[in-house]
Amino acid sequence: MPDAQRTAPTADAFTSTFPLPPLADQAERLIELGVPALTGVDAGELRAYAEKAAADAPAGSLLAVHPDAAPASALAPLLRLADKPGFVVVDMEDADSFAPQGVELPDGPFYLAHGLDRGDHMGNWSPEEALPALTAAGRTPLLLTEGIHWLLQRPEVLERNKCFMTIGSRLRKPNGSFDARTPAIWISNGTGRDGRERKGAPKVGWCWWNNRHTWLGFGSTTGRNG
């Protein structure tokens, strides 16, 4: 692809078309899905946080549980598309080791992420190309767990050929360098080790840091607060 087609987007290019429910409804959704039971967070505290945060939360805020409390491996099976449960690919058993990189998370088990966007206009960019462009637009990439939280509230955000990467989560190797795998969430074709029974299921997988994919944008946010 010519470089001109990967001109850094301006802040105006990030316009999500997936409004989120009120924070109280998001809390109830997480409780209904069993997130407190699976992760040990307190359902009452989750409700209380959502109620308090709603007083001054920006419109379209996403309620998220800190990845230390609710790791990706616990959340991914709660995803659903047409009654197909989500899963983590077999060669990403270390999904929970992909930690926030260049992202400051608020203290506490719960926080809000604002202004989420799927990054469709950045399809066919590599993560290496996308990260500085997001930064220049005043945005930060989503964490893997944030992407899952978004889909738990709005499953329709994940569409065939319009899926997204979550490059705010990276795995640092023992020698200090980064693992070249970068997390992404898309829809399984039911091929290979996924298994035919998983065709159409939400899939937590990975792509190489320098590779481009026309069907993967880059999930991002304008910021977070506790």
Beta-bridge partner residues of 218: 165
Q: What is the pLDDT of residues 29-38, one digit of tens each?
A: 999 999 999 8
CA distance 128 to 135: 12
Could you tell me the pTM of the whole model? Answer: 0.93
Residue 207's alpha-carbon distances to 89, 92, 164, 192, 211, in angstroms, are 12, 11, 11, 16, 7
> What six digits make up the tokens of 177?
């360098």
Q: What is the pLDDT of residues 104-148, one digit of tens each?
A: 999 999 999 999 999 999 999 999 999 999 999 999 999 999 999
Q: With 0-12 CB in 10 A as exposed, 13-18 as middle and 19+ as buried, what is 213?
A: middle
Instruction: Specify whether the CB–CB gap between 88 and 189 falls below 8 A.
Output: no
CA distance 181 to 151: 21
Instruction: Specify whether the CB–CB gap between 169 and 183 falls below 8 A.
Output: yes
Sign of the dihedral through C-alpha 131, 11, 104, 35: negative
Residue 17: pLDDT band with limits 50, 70, 90: confident
Average confidence (pLDDT) over 17-31: 95
